[in-house]
Homo-oligomer: A and B are copies of this chain.
Amino acid sequence: MTQSRLTHLDMAGHARMVDVSAKPATQRKAVACGEILMASRTLDMIQSGDMPKGDVYATARIAGIMAAKKTADLIPLCHPLSLSSISVDFAAGNDKVVITAVVTTTGATGVEIEALAAVSVAALTLYDMCKAVDRGMQIDNIRLLHKSGGQSGEYNAE
């Protein structure tokens, strides 16, 4: 990467939505992930308790999908995009839930913020649904895993 300045600021340092009108619409994909750490008792209540786990993950999944669609309304300088697909998945780990989001579009800008927003809001939704039993949960390690389809080429996290 060779950008020598923040493109979201103009020459005077003022925020702006950068001009993408010269960029062609191409197929783009982004994969982001993150995790929410919780007490093992909390994870048990989501995962293997006496109540169906479906609705906890299903609620967080829908929240993440809807958040990806709201990204341009949440992030001030983000371009509105017509997303082609969104999926959000959960995997229970050791005292944590790992969240992965995949977003694609055919557009002039990438969808990494959309994927990161889906992960973030899915994590916040898990926090909200479990907060009455566990206030010490922590959302961690939200990052971009993969990005492809734009001028800057493919990116894969190390």
Interface residues of A (CB under 8 A from B): 1, 3-10, 12-21, 27, 34, 45-46, 49, 51-52, 54-59, 61-63, 65-67, 69-70, 72-89, 104-108, 112-113, 116-117, 120-121, 123-125, 127-144, 147, 155, 157-158
Give the dominant DSSP class at A's interface.
mixed
| A15-B124 contact, Cβ under 8 Å, with A54-B52, A131-B112, A132-B6 | no
A45 touches B5 (CB 8 A): yes
| A13-B55 contact, Cβ under 8 Å, with A1-B134, A62-B62, A77-B128 | yes
Residues of B within 8 A of A51 (CB): 5-6, 9, 13
CB distance from A19 to the nearest CB of B (A): 4
B129 touches A84 (CB 8 A): no
CB<8 Å pairs between A and B, sample of 24: A1-B133, A1-B134, A5-B49, A5-B51, A8-B56, A8-B132, A13-B55, A14-B87, A15-B59, A16-B85, A16-B86, A17-B86, A17-B87, A59-B62, A63-B76, A81-B82, A82-B107, A84-B108, A112-B131, A120-B121, A120-B124, A135-B144, A138-B142, A140-B140
